[in-house]
Structure 1
Amino acid sequence: MIKLSGIDIDLFFFKRRSILLLLLFLMGYACCCQPVIQEIPLFEGRPPGTRIQKIEEEKRYDPVVDSLVSRVIFPTLSIFKPAGIKHATPAVIIVPGGGYHTLLIEREGRKMANALNEKGITAFVLKYRLPSTEYFDNRQVVPLMDLQQAIYLVRKNAAKWGVNPEAIGVMGFSAGGHLALMAGTHYDTSFIPSLPHTHLKPDFLILVNPVVSFYDSTTHSGSRDNLLGTNQNAQTLNFFSGEKNVRNNMPPVFLAHALNDKVVKVENTLNLFNALRGQGVISEIHIYAKGDHGFLNNTPPRDEWLNSCFYWMKSMGWLD
């Protein structure tokens, strides 16, 4: 056997071959586990309710990672499909927050989609239109129109996208949580030009530090004013305050909030939970001492609430 600097040549090449095979395996594993991503428009042509003829391009604050988006004119749905799964999966439509002013499309959208994919859940990140009197008629319902259209598309294409049509939920953060809750309370009022008898009711809701009430005692005034304007009457406030519209036939709800949230008061979640209990709606609540608004900086509560959410989905029969 030939020696090379005191190393057996056979052993030398064996190690090189082993390392090469390991690298090829890891590359193949990474490829097969990457989610299938596709972004599609919510509507064909100009979205309904768009007022102006000349449409400006959307404003992107970070051209590199696109982490914040505002001035959304053409809403889209990004599909994150976990690769390698043959059976129908549960689906979660993710609604990022941002106070109805911007969309935290990376932190509360794509990153969460990847976390759901790891559990075999198909994720859909909704880039919805933000209310603007400059661009839209009846700006108050434009975001809800987009979310209802997303629910409609996921149900319509359930077989095509490998989704279980009886396990389609909506996950919302902050103002996105408010929008998700609206979809769960006003599902029998269609704001989209859809087919008759379209089923717009989500099967479940996941609300993380959600804006719930639009009344001064607990509301996030920025979200309320951006959506409704500054002159609101009692009827409008009631319609857009989730705790006022809880009913016994709405979808089951999972709630998570941080006690030290200085942006959206924890009372939003606590009051909603009490309203859900009062109507007999299946619900689960998790309140954490720390976590700020949105469980920033990957603090431990982020993994805790997410794992609790997966356990809840499994216990309810949506996640194998």
Structure 2
Amino acid sequence: MKLHLTLIMTLLYGFLQAQDKIALYSVIPNLKDTANIEKNTPELYSYIPQEIKHSKIFLILPGGGYTHHAMDHEGHQVAKRLNEQGYCAFVLKYRLPTSKQQIDKRIAPIEDAQRALIVVKEYVKGLKIKKPKFGVLGFSAGGHLASTLSTHFASDYNHQNLSSKDLRPDFSVLVYPVISMEDGVTHNGSKTNLIGPDFQPEDVIRFSNEKNINKKTPPAYLIHAKDDKAVPIENSLRYQNELNKYKIPNYLFVYEKGGHGFGMNNKQEPLDWFENMLEWLENVKL
């Protein structure tokens, strides 16, 4: 009976962890008066392990082509695996860009990502972690948003008078990320949903994040498969090449096979990018 009760309490603890939702805004910005955002409200979930073993904090951004969120295998499952190893993690369901709801749909996702980073930093103060380092982990279109967060930190999209230091992640992990908005390299669906359907040259440049890298861009760990037909590996290669120009620490974990959207588990190859990524982060200077 006691063992049965312990099992129930353990399961309940895990369930409560997944349900720990943190308010992101008191008032959601960049919203049209007529917008119905019931199904497109930003949400932030915290995953705090019973024993915190590491000082690195992860903000996770699931992919979905800026049309939906792969919240399970690119969000909650990732946070749980990090928890198992003693890392704190947060999963963001950012707003999907739509001109029906937002005054400027192009910046709705990055508004939420920047706000989430600030909220996470404030939240973690209560955990009394010594010298925490805050990173962003994004998949596919979430990888594009993660790279936007990692390169647009000089712009305070929420107009809160925050500095680059406040808005800059300490590291980024980009999993089969959309990086560029240029034709032939980008993922056309993500591009259309974020800055289309009428593409302005300045927007293509603005959201091609390999063009926004400078000497202050944080170190990055990238993961991509050579046979990814949805988001060509050229995206990760361009980001890495620009990081190398500024001698910013980085690593590109390459699969020969795997396609797109495999999350943490590439069933076509035995190598585990996730464990390799954690080892790299524990050894790189941030």
Amino acid at match of 1:47: I
Asked if 1:42 is matched to 2:27, the reply is no
Q: Does 1:182 align with 2:148?
A: yes
The 1-side partners of 2:246 and 2:130 are apart by 28
Aligned-residue identity in percent: 33
8 A contact 1:113–1:124 mirrored in 2: yes
User: Residue 157 and residue 147 in structure 1: after superposition, are their counterparts in 2 closer, same or farther (change >3 A)?
Assistant: same
Q: Which runs of 5+ in 2 are unaligned?
A: none
Distance 1:244 1:280, change over 3 A: same
- In structure 1, the residue matched to 2:283 is 315
Number of residue-to-residue matches in the alignment: 282
Equivalent residue for 2:111, pick from 139, 145, 169: 145
Query: Given the superposition, is the C-alpha separation of residues 200 and 56 from structure 1 closer, same or farther in structure 2, using an over 3 Å criterion?
Result: closer
Q: Is the strand fraction higher in 1 or 2?
A: 1
What 5-or-longer segments of structure 1 have no aligned partner? 1-19, 59-71
- Distance 1:164-1:185 versus aligned 2 partners, 3 A rule: farther
Per-residue CA deviations over 1:217-251 (Å, capped at 9, x if unaligned) read 21101000100012222221111001111111110
**CA deviation string 1:104-129 (max 9, x = no partner):** 11111001111111111111000100
Distance change in 2, residues 1:96/1:274 (3 Å): same
Distance 1:54 1:81 in 2: 34
Alpha-carbon distance, 1:302 to partner: 7.8
Say yes or no: does 1:132 pair with 2:112.
Answer: no
Q: Normalization by structure 1: what TM-score? A: 0.81
Task: Classify 1:154/1:165 alpha carbon distance in 2 versus 1 (closer, same or farther; 3 Å).
Answer: farther
Kept in 1, the 8 Å contact 2:55–2:132? The answer is no
- Which is greater in Rg? 1
2:173 corresponds to: 206
Retained in 2: the 8 A contact 1:247–1:281? no
8 Å Cα contact 2:181/2:191 also seen in 1: yes
**What one-letter code is carried by the residue in structure 1 that aligns with 2:149?**
A
For 1:301 and 1:161, locate their aligned partners in 2 and report how far apart those are by CA, in whole Å.
38
Q: Which deviates the most, 199-208 or 298-307?
A: 298-307
Q: Secondary structure in 2 aligned to 1:199?
A: helix
1:148-187 residue pairs with structure 2 within 5 A?
148-163=114-129, 166-187=132-153
Stretch moving more, 218-227 or 165-174: 165-174
Q: Write out aligned runs for 1:84-95 (5 A).
A: 84-85=51-52, 89-95=55-61
Does the 8 Å CA contact 1:206/1:255 hold for their aligned counterparts? yes
1:286 corresponds, among 217, 241, 253, to: 253
User: Does the Cα contact within 8 Å between 1:52 and 1:136 map onto a contact in 2?
Assistant: no
Q: Which has the higher contact order (CA 8 A, sep 6+)?
A: 2
Provide the rounded CA distance (Å) in 2 between the counterparts of 1:302 and 1:242. Answer: 31
Structure 2 vs 1, CA of residues 148 and 56 (structure 1 numbering), >3 Å: closer, same or farther?
closer
Measured after TM superposition, the shift of residue 26 of structure 1 is: 7.1
Tell me the residue number matched to 1:223. Answer: 190
- The letter of the residue matching 2:28 is P
Alpha-carbon displacement from aligned partner over 1:141-180 (angstroms, at most 9, x marks no partner): 0100000000111112222245556411000000000000
- Matching residue's letter, 1:283: N
Paired residue for 1:27?
7
1:41 Cα deviation after fit = 2.3
- Counterpart of 1:83 (choices 27, 50, 57) is 50
Length-normalised TM-score, structure 2 = 0.90
Q: Report SS of the residue matched to 1:256.
A: strand
